[in-house]
Amino acid sequence: MIRKEFRQTLREPRSRAMLMIPPLVQLLVFGFAVNLDVNTATIAWMDQDNTPHSRALLADFEGSGRFAIAATPSTEKEMQRLLDTGQVEGVVRVLPGFSRDLMRGRPTSVQVLVDGTNSNSAQIIAGYASAAVARFTAGALVDRRRAKAVGAAVPLSVAVPQLSSQGRVWFNPELKSRNYFVPGVIVNILMLVTLSLTAMSIVREKEIGTMEQLMVTPIRPAELILGKTLPFVVVGFFDMLLVFAAALLLFRVPFVGSFALLCVASLLFILTTLGAGLFISTVTRTQGQANLATFLIFQPFSMLSGFTFPIRNMPEVVQYFTYLNPMRYFLEVVRGLFLKGSGLDTLWPNLVALAVFGVVILTLSVRRFHKQLE
């Protein structure tokens, strides 16, 4: 049965396509096309103060390396046109009296207008702008205190206390979005390929009428189930290794965890997908129905796994539903192994959850499939 299943899978064009096309497409999309990084923001600079202080603020923005000044509008209408047409992602507006208020110690502000069409980019750009303004404000405050200290003949060390902070990003220092997405492709690929191929292989036997021929042979139901599922364990590991190699060699995603632990977690997750594939085969009669059922299972599971959208940002009720999603636990294991180097002492709750899901779903599906064969 195993040899027959391998031959049939590799011989049929649709099955061969399922082996290679999904991994390649997802790798290309999430490795190259999907990029949430904002390295340089294109902004307009509207200076309504035109003083040395406002020009010093402009120098701080340009010197940060995060902004490219694309235009210098002088009127409200021109500024609005730049934002409406998408020529700039934001506008920094220095209001009149900025330098006067700064020199007198009065509260002053800088207006930052950001195109919120892309909420992720808008938040990042607003954060960059706030950081640049904070740096300028801190420098201006130190200069003002230093001037007062010199005028009062007070030692600078006493009059101007200085506090510096240094930030450090753990696990993904360069904040590359591909380091976040590419490991998750392993989860998506294992789910999609093993789920669909398992369901399709059994439904295909029903559709072309060969299931009855298999049942009159001396093969037992347990042997039939093993022969139909074990080949796709091998297929799942092949696709996992393919994506793993591409992540390391092509996309340079760091992997600092245990490869053996990744294999164990993949096997536990595959138990769940094989069981789901067997279940689909018991409720569908044609390959078209099996494809539709696969999509209806895969899509919500992927959306609620944290692959694209952080679970903590979802409504609280939806967050509870994610605990019933095996993809959530496997995704946490994969990202923990790739980026954090987490070990068994940290990941064991997720592995236990995967084992429970795998055993329960596979057992129930096998029993249902066994009854259908009888």
What's the pLDDT score for residue 163? 43
Helices (H), 113-258: 119-151, 156-159, 177-208, 211-215, 221-249
Long-range pairs for 149-155 at CB < 8 Å and ≥24 separation? none
What's the pLDDT score for residue 166? 56
Parallel, antiparallel, or unpaired for β 110-114 and 67-71? unpaired
What's the pLDDT score for residue 160? 42
- pLDDT tens, the chain, 374 aa long: 888 888 877 787 777 777 778 778 888 887 776 667 677 889 999 988 888 888 888 888 888 888 899 889 988 889 888 888 888 888 998 888 888 887 777 777 788 888 887 777 788 888 888 888 888 877 766 666 665 555 544 444 444 444 444 556 677 777 788 888 889 899 999 998 899 888 888 888 888 777 777 777 777 777 888 888 888 899 889 889 988 998 899 888 889 899 999 999 999 999 999 999 989 988 888 888 888 999 899 999 999 998 888 888 888 899 999 999 999 999 999 999 998 888 899 999 999 999 999 999 989 988 887 776 66
CB 140 within 8 A of CB 53: yes
For the chain, domains (ranges, CATH) are 19-35+178-373 (no CATH), 41-159 (3.40.1710.10)
What's the pLDDT score for residue 159? 42
**pTM for the structure as a whole:** 0.76
